[in-house]
């Protein structure tokens, strides 16, 4: 029997670990990018606002006439003439009554909107920032407007209150922010795929001992419980797991050996009392008896013989389990076709008696190294089983075939077949098909013996459905070269 | 006919002894190895029935020592040890037959008689039972001068019966000698073959040669048992 290794899960542990780690990295990267984006925007905006303030200060200086003799108009023309700068600045300067003192030409016929609530009556100094649609652009760009109400005190005039608005287009700013974001995302996705690969690699490496342990563990089964998982000597979690599994295997092996020993001992111990029973019965049956007693005692005798056979078969099974040398060696060269002929010759008269056509099917030049008497026993058991379930007038076919590494001895019957859900169970000891056609001859050990013999040869028994609906048993033996 | 029975289980020894005495043998009993060895070597027995698991010296050793002393008495090993190795070792040490416990009493007596007979017969190449004649070399079988065709298996079976004519052979003995292997399944193969033989040897003739001994086996003989 094969131990199914958990490969059928939807996502392997390796991928789960990889993906969990990767999503963590992904989340971190996302947060970092968002923070970076917000910070870039704020810094850029602060810089722009600083520029607007500087420009406002220049206007104040011009208005106070402190530094140069430039008029406001001249100043505005100089400041707003087309340059190679990405940013465009607007100026709009009004007095307290709302009369325009100066307005940059690039505003055309538009004006910069005053902040809400800034009427002519208010005279206190104040600064206000707003973002508004660009009045000069039809495409809906945005501008940042700085409005400052300030009291100007020129040396040659009376002080007066003005509202100085400086504004800047935000298009280049948006472009810069977008570009920064795009670059960050590009770099992040590049490194994230790298990280994914790296994580996968690291997890695979970390899980490699587990994979190795799985491989080792799947090699261990009931027939070679002596194998143990190797310890890496690192004293880590995996070593502990291997140790626990090994201890479990020790206990399992011990109880299995005990069980095998028990059935062997039991069968053996039953022999002496059986010998006495049969001997005494034989002697009694030789004497004078009434017909009734005789037939009763003969039935007892039959049962005792049946029990002797059962003991023999149990002992054979126990010996096969224990790989006992009592069953003989496995080094004969056995010509399977010759063996099949021999056995079918032997069985043909019985088959004919029951009206069953026992036929040789395909033959092949197949020979194996093994134990001839045991192989004969296996084939006899298969034929016994086949003949028992085949109705009168139908056929049982024995064939041999060779494929790459193995040799097959196949017995096909024309019985009712065995439903798939029962196929495993027919090899269990003392299992009887619930089909009711069994005669009292069957003792539920025939097929287990066939299986035991196959396994003792390093082979197996396969059960399939024959074309005619009956059962098709394959005794599969490894082909070893001389 | 003197038989030495070497068996340490008192109950088993008791019924074997009773049975053999009823069959007309005189039976001596030995319960351990050294005693058995002493008796085999010093008393003129016709046959020895030897258990393997006996105290102080096992059956193999008793047999081996006796044979090395030149003792040629026929020995039948009677043991619960049924492994191939034990059987082979027993025959190598010089046993003449090997019977596994549990056994039927008829089987034991048939085998003892076969052993006694084997000693008196020389290996033959022809056999004659009444008007039945067989030639091993040419595989020719005639009855009342009429040629009878047999398959090789039928010939082997008839030859085995003929070489034991006058004594009963059991199905197990036939299986072991004619088919080289005892088998649990298909024990009725032998009955079927006997039927084939009868249809060729007996059915065309008035006098029957093959007799069934109920519960034991078959007998080839001129006279009805």
List the one residue out of A323, A329, A364 whose CA is nearest residue A479.
Answer: A364
| Residues of B whose CB is below 8 A from A303 | none
Q: b/e for B81-100, b at 16 or more Cβ within 10 A? A: bbbbebbebbeebbbbbbbb
B188 contact partners, CB below 8 Å, separation of at least 6: A350, A353
| Residues of B whose CB is below 8 A from A315 | 82
How many CB pairs (< 8 A) connect A and B?
Answer: 99
Interface test with B, best of A307, A349, A351 (most B CBs within 10 A): A349
Sign of CA dihedral A214, A217, A222, A224: positive
Sign of CA dihedral A268, A431, B190, A346: negative
**Residue A310: per-residue pLDDT:** 85
Q: What is the pTM of this model?
A: 0.62
At B110, give phi and psi (nearest 5°). -60, -40
Comparing CB atoms, the residue among A276, A312, A446 nearest residue B11 is A276
Comparing CB atoms, the residue among A271, A349, A376 nearest residue B80 is A271
Q: b/e for A185-211, b at 16 or more Cβ within 10 A? A: eeebeeeeeebbeebbeebeeebebee
| Residues of A whose CB is below 8 A from B84 | 326-328, 373
Does the beta-carbon distance from B188 to A353 stay under 8 Å? Answer: yes
For residues A266 and A441, give the distance between their C-alpha atoms in angstroms, rounded to a whole number: 22
CA distance A276 to chain B (A): 6
* HEC assignment per residue over chain A: CCCCCCCCCCCCHHHHHHHHHHHHHHHHHHHHHHHHHHHHHHHHHHHHHHHHHHHHHHHHHHHHCCCCCCCHHHHHHHHHCCCCCCCCEEEEEEECCCCEEEECHHHCCCCCCCCCCCCCCCCCCEEEEEEEECCCCCCCCEEEEEEEEEEECCCCCCCEEEEEEEEEECHHHHHHHHHHHHHHHHHHHHHHHHHHHHHHHHHHHHHHHHHHHHHHHHHCCHHHCCCCCCCCCCCCHHHHHHHHHHHHHHHHHHHHHHHHHHHHHHHHHHHHHHHHHHHHHHHHHHCCCCHHHHHHHHHHHHHHHHHHHHHHHHHHHHHHHCCCHHHCCCCEEEEHHHHHHHHHHHHHHHHHHCCCEEEECCCCCCEEEECHHHHHHHHHHHHHHHHHHCCCCCEEEEEEEECCCEEEEEEECCCCCCCHHHCCHHHCCCCCCCCCCCCCCCCCCHHHHHHHHHHHCCCEEEEEECCCCCEEEEEEEECCCC
| Residues of A whose CB is below 8 A from B188 | 350, 353
A92 contact partners, CB below 8 Å, separation of at least 6: A100, A102, A103, A104, A107, A111, A112, A165, A167
**Residue A7: per-residue pLDDT:** 46
Does the beta-carbon distance from A380 to B186 stay under 8 Å? Answer: yes
**Residue A119: per-residue pLDDT:** 66
Question: Do the strands B217-220 and B210-213 form a parallel or antiparallel pair, or are they unpaired?
Answer: antiparallel
What ipTM goes with this model? 0.73
CA distance B122 to chain A (A): 30
Q: Which tokens sit at B57?
A: 């010296």
Does the beta-carbon distance from A326 to B83 stay under 8 Å? Answer: yes
CA distance A442 to chain B (A): 9
Residues of B with CB under 8 A from a CB of A: 9, 11-12, 15-16, 18-19, 22, 80, 82-86, 101-106, 153, 179, 181, 183-186, 188-189, 192-193, 196, 215
Interface test with A, best of B110, B182, B184 (most A CBs within 10 A): B184
**Residue A132: per-residue pLDDT:** 86
Nearest residue of A to residue B21 by CA position?
Answer: A283
Does the beta-carbon distance from A328 to B84 stay under 8 Å? Answer: yes
Strand order in the sheet with B97-100: B26-30, B2-6, B47-50, B75-79, B97-100
For residues B110 and A57, give the distance between their C-alpha atoms in angstroms, rounded to a whole number: 137
For residues A410 and A378, give the distance between their C-alpha atoms in angstroms, rounded to a whole number: 11
**Residue A250: per-residue pLDDT:** 87
Does the beta-carbon distance from A346 to B186 stay under 8 Å? Answer: yes
User: Is any Cβ of chain B less than 8 angstroms from the Cβ of A146?
Assistant: no
Q: b/e for A256-282, b at 16 or more Cβ within 10 A? A: eeeebeebbeebbebbbebbbbbbbbb
**Average pLDDT per consecutive 10 residues, chain A (482 residues; last block may be shorter):** 47 84 92 92 91 89 75 83 78 84 83 77 78 81 88 81 88 87 91 90 85 80 71 79 86 83 79 86 85 89 86 85 78 86 85 87 84 89 87 89 87 84 82 57 79 89 85 87 46
Comparing CB atoms, the residue among B184, B192, B193 nearest residue A309 is B184
Comparing CB atoms, the residue among A268, A272, A305 nearest residue B9 is A272
For residues A422 and A428, give the distance between their C-alpha atoms in angstroms, rounded to a whole number: 10
CA distance A379 to chain B (A): 10
Does the beta-carbon distance from A373 to B181 stay under 8 Å? Answer: yes
Q: Which tokens sit at A9?
A: 């899960």
Nearest residue of B to residue A442 by CA position?
Answer: B185
Q: Tell me the β-bridge partners of B79.
A: B100
* HEC assignment per residue over chain B: CEEEEECCCHHHHHHHHHHHHHCCCEEEEECCHHHHHHHHHHCCCCEEEECCCCCCCCHHHHHHHHHHCCCCCCEEEEECCCCHHHHHHHHHCCCCEEEECCCCHHHHHHHHHHHHHHHHCCCCCEEEECCEEEECCCCEEEECCEEECCCHHHHHHHHHHHHCCCCEEEHHHHHHHHCCCCCCCCCCHHHHHHHHHHHHHCCCCCCCCEEEECCCEEEECCCCC
B37 contact partners, CB below 8 Å, separation of at least 6: B57, B62, B65, B66
CA distance A479 to chain B (A): 24
Does the beta-carbon distance from B188 to A283 stay under 8 Å? Answer: no
Contact status, residue A386 vs residue A350, Cβ threshold 8 Å: no
Q: Tell me the β-bridge partners of A94.
A: A100, A163
Does the beta-carbon distance from B186 to A327 stay under 8 Å? Answer: no
At B201, give phi and psi (nearest 5°). -90, -45
What would the pLDDT profile of B50-73 be if each residue is shown by its tens digit?
Answer: 998 888 888 888 998 888 888 888
| Residues of A whose CB is below 8 A from B103 | 275, 278
Q: What is the percentage of chain B residues whose pLDDT exceeds 90? A: 7
Contact status, residue A470 vs residue A408, Cβ threshold 8 Å: no
In A298-317, the residues whose Cβ lies within 8 Å of chain B are 298, 304-305, 308-309, 311-313, 315
Q: Which residue has the tokens 């019924």?
A: B15
What would the pLDDT profile of B133-182 be if each residue is shown by its tens digit?
Answer: 888 888 889 988 889 888 888 888 898 898 888 888 888 888 888 876 66
| Residues of A whose CB is below 8 A from B181 | 373, 376
| Residues of A whose CB is below 8 A from B101 | 271-272, 274-275
| Residues of B whose CB is below 8 A from A268 | 80
Comparing CB atoms, the residue among A282, A315, A381 nearest residue B104 is A282
Angle (deg, nearest 10), helices B189-201 and A336-353: 70
CA distance B63 to chain A (A): 21
Task: Establish whether the linkage from the previous residue to B102 is cis, with ω within 30° of 0.
Answer: yes
Does the beta-carbon distance from A276 to B106 stay under 8 Å? Answer: no
**Maximum CA pair distance of chain A?**
163
**Residue A1: per-residue pLDDT:** 40
| Residues of B whose CB is below 8 A from A347 | 186, 189
Sign of CA dihedral A189, A194, A200, A203: negative
Contact status, residue B150 vs residue B158, Cβ threshold 8 Å: yes
In A312-371, the residues whose Cβ lies within 8 Å of chain B are 312-313, 315, 319, 324-328, 345-347, 349-350, 352-353
Does the beta-carbon distance from A272 to B12 stay under 8 Å? Answer: yes
Comparing CB atoms, the residue among B15, B179, B184 nearest residue A346 is B179
For residues A321 and A38, give the distance between their C-alpha atoms in angstroms, rounded to a whole number: 75
**Maximum CA pair distance of chain B?**
59
List the one residue out of B51, B82, B93 whose CA is nearest residue A327.
Answer: B82
């Amino acid at each position: 029997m094969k131990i199914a290794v958990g490969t059928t899960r939807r996502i392997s542990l390796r991928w789960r670990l990889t993906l969990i780690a990767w999503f963590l990295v992904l989340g971190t990267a996302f947060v970092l990018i968002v923070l970076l984006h917000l910070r870039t925007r704020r810094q850029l905006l602060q810089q722009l606002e600083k520029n607007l303030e500087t420009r406002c200060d220049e206007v104040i200086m011009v208005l106070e006439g402190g530094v140069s003799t430039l008029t406001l108009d001249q100043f505005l023309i100089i400041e707003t003439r087309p340059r190679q700068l990405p940013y465009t600045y607007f100026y709009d300067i009004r007095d307290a009554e709302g009369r325009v003192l100066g307005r940059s030409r690039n505003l055309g016929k538009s004006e910069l909107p005053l902040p809400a609530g800034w009427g002519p009556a208010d005279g206190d100094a104040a600064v206000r920032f707003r973002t508004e649609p660009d009045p000069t652009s039809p495409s809906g760009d945005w501008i940042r407007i700085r409005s400052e109400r300030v009291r100007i005190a020129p040396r040659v005039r009376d002080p007066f209150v003005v509202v100085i608005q400086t504004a800047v287009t935000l298009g280049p700013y948006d472009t810069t922010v977008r570009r920064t974001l795009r670059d960050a995302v590009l770099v992040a996705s590049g490194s994230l795929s790298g990280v994914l690969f790296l994580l996968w690699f690291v997890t695979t490496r970390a899980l490699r001992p587990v994979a190795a342990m799985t491989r080792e563990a799947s090699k261990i089964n009931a027939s070679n419980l002596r194998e143990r998982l190797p310890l890496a000597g690192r004293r880590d979690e995996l070593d502990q797991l291997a140790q626990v599994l090994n201890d479990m295997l020790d206990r399992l092996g011990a109880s299995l050996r005990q069980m095998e020993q028990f059935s062997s001992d039991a069968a053996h111990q039953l022999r002496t009392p059986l010998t006495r029973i049969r001997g005494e019965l034989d002697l009694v049956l030789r004497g004078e008896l009434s017909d009734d007693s005789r037939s009763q005692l003969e039935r007892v005798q039959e049962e005792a013989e049946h029990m002797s056979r059962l003991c023999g078969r149990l002992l054979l099974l126990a010996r096969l389990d224990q790989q006992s040398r009592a069953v003989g060696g496995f080094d004969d060269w056995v010509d399977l076709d010759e063996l099949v002929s021999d056995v079918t010759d032997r069985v043909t008269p019985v088959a004919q008696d029951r009206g069953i056509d026992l036929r040789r099917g395909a033959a092949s030049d197949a020979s194996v190294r093994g134990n001839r008497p045991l192989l004969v026993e296996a084939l006899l058991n298969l034929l016994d089983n086949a003949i028992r379930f085949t109705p009168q007038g139908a056929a049982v076919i024995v064939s041999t075939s060779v494929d790459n590494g193995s040799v097959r001895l196949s017995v096909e019957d024309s019985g009712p077949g065995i439903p798939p859900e029962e196929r495993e169970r027919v090899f269990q000891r003392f299992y009887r098909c619930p089909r009711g056609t069994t005669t009292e001859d069957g003792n539920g050990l025939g097929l287990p013996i066939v299986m035991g013999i196959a396994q003792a040869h390093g082979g197996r028994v396969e059960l399939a459905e024959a074309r005619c609906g009956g059962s098709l048993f394959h005794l599969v033996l490894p082909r070893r070269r001389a | 006919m003197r038989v030495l029975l070497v068996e340490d289980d008192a109950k088993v020894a008791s019924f074997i002894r009773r049975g053999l005495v009823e069959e007309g043998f005189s039976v001596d009993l030995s319960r351990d190895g050294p005693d058995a060895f002493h008796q085999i070597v010093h008393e003129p027995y016709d046959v020895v029935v030897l258990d393997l698991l006996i105290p102080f010296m096992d059956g193999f050793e008793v047999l081996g020592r006796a044979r090395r002393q030149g003792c040629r008495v026929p020995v039948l090993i009677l043991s619960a040890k049924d492994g191939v190795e034990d059987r082979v070792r027993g025959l190598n040490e010089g046993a003449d037959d090997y019977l596994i416990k549990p056994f039927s009493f008829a089987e034991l007596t048939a085998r003892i008689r076969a052993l006694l007979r084997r000693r008196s017969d020389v290996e033959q190449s022809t056999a004659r039972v009444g008007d039945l004649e067989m030639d091993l070399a040419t595989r020719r079988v005639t009855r009342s001068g009429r040629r009878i065709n047999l398959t090789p298996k039928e010939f082997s079976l008839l030859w085995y019966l003929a070489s034991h004519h006058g004594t009963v052979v059991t199905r197990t003995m036939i299986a072991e000698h004619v088919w080289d292997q005892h088998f649990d399944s298909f024990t009725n193969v032998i009955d079927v073959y006997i039927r084939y033989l009868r249809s060729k040897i007996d059915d065309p003739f008035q006098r029957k040669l093959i007799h069934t001994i109920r519960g034991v086996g078959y007998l080839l003989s001129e006279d009805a048992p």
